[in-house]
Structure 1
Amino acid sequence: MPTLSTIRAGIAELPTGTPLVVALAGGTSGIGSYTAKALAITFAEHGSKLRVYIVGRKLERAEALIQFGRQTSPGSDWRFVQVSDAALISDVDSACKEIAKQEEATPFAGGPPRLDILYLSQALSPFQPSPQDSIKPGEFPVGTPPAGSYGITSVRRNTTFMKTFSFEELAEKNAGKISFVHIYPGLVDGPAFYTDANPPWMRILWRVMKPLVSWYMTSEKDCGDVMVTQRELGGGAYAVGQRGDESERVSWSKVRKNDTTENVWDHTMKILTGVERKDAAA
């Protein structure tokens, strides 16, 4: 497991490379905001080599972060792209088109229109069992879970399964050109623990438990630094841990077959094509 000093020494080299265009989905708070701050600090003396798109719902929540980025990294370019609901494909398409439009209109640092890094942040409790634990040999958990087992756990399992193999298929189709990395940051304190979306008992329980698990928690700064850590250039899909250490475990080994990635990809494309046809006919 790399030490934090090794990680920070590595990210300190980022500004010596080519300029970066970064998009942060869900970057207005929590892990996304910690990543944005780490980028700003890393490029503090080289702001002209950093452009960041913050994708979120509310501009007012992003303004403080954008101001921090501009002040910390003078000369850096920070932009906000609004999306109402990132769970809707139509909203994701709109955000992607807006970023592409801006990149084509004003390519960064004289280079071609591009996106070098895309961060997708989400919150899952590290105390939850792995979705792989609930799968049985021979199962193929794609699509919507059946009504009898439908719930947060089954949806999480199917979504994780499909995303993993879709990324692997994309990496194979674009070998040497793109990498997909799932970073497990550990237990990170953030606004997700205090939101009204959680029941009152959970918010109270977290306030009681937080001092007890503080030794295990990943700090905001450490989390941001690990998220900014860059691996060697190359293609592939892989998972890393709290310090950027690559996992030796083969994901979904119980059900993985030679054609699993292809079957998941075909299913995904079939669904997306059907959605496009319905939209066109509407």
Structure 2
Amino acid sequence: MVKLNLVRSSNAELVTQPLVAVFVGGTSNIGAHTIQCLARTHGKTGKGLRAYIVGRNTKAAETVIAECQNSCPTGQFLFLRADDLALMKDVDTTCAELIKTEEKEASAKGQIPRIDILVMSQAIFKPWDPRKETSEGLDTFMSLLFYSRARFTTRLLPLLLSSTLPAHVISVFGPGRDASFFPDDLSLRSSDNYGFMSSGSHAAYLKTFYWEYLAAKYQGKLSLCHYFPGLVLSDGFDDPTLPWWFRTIFKYGTPIIKLAPSTLPGEESGERTLFNASKRFPPRSVDGKASIASAGGMGIAESSDGIMGGGAYRVNYNGGQVAIGKQYKKMREDGWLDKAVQHTHKAWEDIEKTGHFSG
């Protein structure tokens, strides 16, 4: 476990240079806590902060921005509204708008357009629902957890690769969810295969392999973390659209739930999420030698493919590593890294050409 004092000192190092950060799903819960943490850490003494919040809820975004502006009066906080981030066409539209806005803002300040930190937490939480397909043919839950986030990352590469940090990509969900796997039904179209656990599992497998692919392709330029945040209690658990029994469990069980080590207060959750942009998680080095000393007392993390400082990380709520399962050895031998990448790109290509993916 990485102690909280090390997390905070590492986060403080981030703001010793100008930063451009993007928070997809940043209007609530973990995304909001993370941008608020960055704003507080920057405060009045940081070297410059421009942050973009992407989401659907304009009112919630205004509240988050007001709180950030209060903590960081010199910071610039911009909201980009998106309709449905489970749709690749909406992701593309949002990315195009973001790139255009960043080019304009950077030019006005004599800066190079860039993104130093990309945090993605867009999701829905309705584990009892059946498979719900988007108009583009993807499962909504899996799309938000994987396809949408991978698409954001690749579409924003021109800005990410311009970062001098280098750039850090943080996807918040659950790398350890990878259990069941249906190799002949990656999209989980069969009702026999689909469920909350299996959809989360497939999203985790696909992300592990896709993050490894990007880390190897953009050595020295891109660090990618799949981060499990633990449980962060919020008003969202009292959403009236949730079943009464679920709301009752959280209402009366909260005192006990709070005792679990992986249940984090909102503020600490934001701090630990931002920590994924630290020197503990560097991009894969071009020469294959990670600079272990650069991470100080934290140590360099091991990538999911077993390379120290390999650029693609599975991170636990406490900053430790989420171990890779034994099944990955056989999956790698069977070429599943390439298959996962091909599946992802095929989905995007079909949606671009016909508006629909049926694979």
TM-score computed with the length of structure 2 as normaliser: 0.71
Contact 2:227 2:315 in 1 (8 A): yes
Query: Which of 240, 244, 247 is 2:315 aligned to?
Result: 240
Q: Could you say which residue in structure 2 is the equivalent of 1:133? A: 179
Contact 2:42 2:72 in 1 (8 A): yes
Partner secondary structure for residue 233 of structure 2: coil
Distance in 1 between residues matched to 2:274 and 2:34, nearest whole Å: 6
Of the structure 1 ranges 71-80 and 208-217, higher mean CA displacement relative to structure 2 is found in: 208-217
Distance in 2 between residues matched to 1:243 and 1:249, nearest whole Å: 17
Shift of 1:130: 5.3
Structure 1: gaps of 5 or more residues: none
Distance in 2 between residues matched to 1:251 and 1:54, nearest whole Å: 38
Partner secondary structure for residue 105 of structure 1: helix
Q: Could you say which residue in structure 2 is the equivalent of 1:160? A: 204
Shift of 1:135: 3.8
Q: Could you say which residue in structure 1 is the equivalent of 2:274? A: 228
Indicate the RMSD between aligned Cα atoms, in angstroms: 2.5
Amino acid paired to 2:18: P
| Residues 129-186 of structure 1 deviation map (CA, whole Å, 9 limit, x = unaligned) | 95433348xx466223423322333322222222221121111111221111112121
Contact 1:48 1:77 in 2 (8 A): no
Partner secondary structure for residue 106 of structure 1: helix
Q: Could you say which residue in structure 2 is the equivalent of 1:256? A: 331
Q: Could you say which residue in structure 2 is the equivalent of 1:8? A: 8
- Check 1:115–1:260 CA distance in 2 against 1; reply closer, same or farther (3 A cut): same
Contact 1:142 1:162 in 2 (8 A): no
Q: Does 1:189 align with 2:233?
A: yes
Contact 1:142 1:159 in 2 (8 A): no
Q: Does 1:50 align with 2:49?
A: yes
Partner secondary structure for residue 314 of structure 2: strand
Amino acid paired to 1:219: P
Q: Does 1:275 align with 2:351?
A: yes
Contact 1:184 1:242 in 2 (8 A): yes
- Check 1:33–1:147 CA distance in 2 against 1; reply closer, same or farther (3 A cut): same
Distance in 2 between residues matched to 1:140 and 1:20, nearest whole Å: 43
Shift of 1:60: 0.9
Distance in 2 between residues matched to 1:72 and 1:96, nearest whole Å: 27
- Check 1:6–1:61 CA distance in 2 against 1; reply closer, same or farther (3 A cut): same
Distance in 2 between residues matched to 1:106 and 1:251, nearest whole Å: 47
Of the structure 1 ranges 169-178 and 139-148, higher mean CA displacement relative to structure 2 is found in: 139-148
- Check 1:141–1:112 CA distance in 2 against 1; reply closer, same or farther (3 A cut): farther
Q: Could you say which residue in structure 1 is the equivalent of 2:71? A: 72
Amino acid paired to 1:269: H
Q: Does 1:114 align with 2:114?
A: yes
Distance in 2 between residues matched to 1:146 and 1:118, nearest whole Å: 33
Structure 2: gaps of 5 or more residues: 128-173, 285-310
TM-score computed with the length of structure 1 as normaliser: 0.89
Contact 1:12 1:42 in 2 (8 A): yes
Partner secondary structure for residue 245 of structure 2: helix
Shift of 1:56: 0.8
Distance in 2 between residues matched to 1:251 and 1:45, nearest whole Å: 48
Q: Could you say which residue in structure 2 is the equivalent of 1:265? A: 341
Amino acid paired to 1:118: L
Any runs of at least 4 consecutive aligned residues in structure 1 with deviations exceeding 6 A, and if so which? none
| Residues 100-131 of structure 1 deviation map (CA, whole Å, 9 limit, x = unaligned) | 00111121753311111111114779xx9954
Contact 1:145 1:158 in 2 (8 A): no
| Residues 38-69 of structure 1 deviation map (CA, whole Å, 9 limit, x = unaligned) | 01100002355111111110211110110111
Contact 1:182 1:240 in 2 (8 A): yes
Distance in 2 between residues matched to 1:195 and 1:252, nearest whole Å: 37
Q: Could you say which residue in structure 2 is the equivalent of 1:205? A: 249
| Residues 19-52 of structure 1 deviation map (CA, whole Å, 9 limit, x = unaligned) | 1111111111111111011011000023551111
Partner secondary structure for residue 21 of structure 1: strand
Contact 1:184 1:240 in 2 (8 A): yes
Of the structure 1 ranges 154-163 and 69-78, higher mean CA displacement relative to structure 2 is found in: 154-163
Distance in 1 between residues matched to 2:75 and 2:326, nearest whole Å: 38
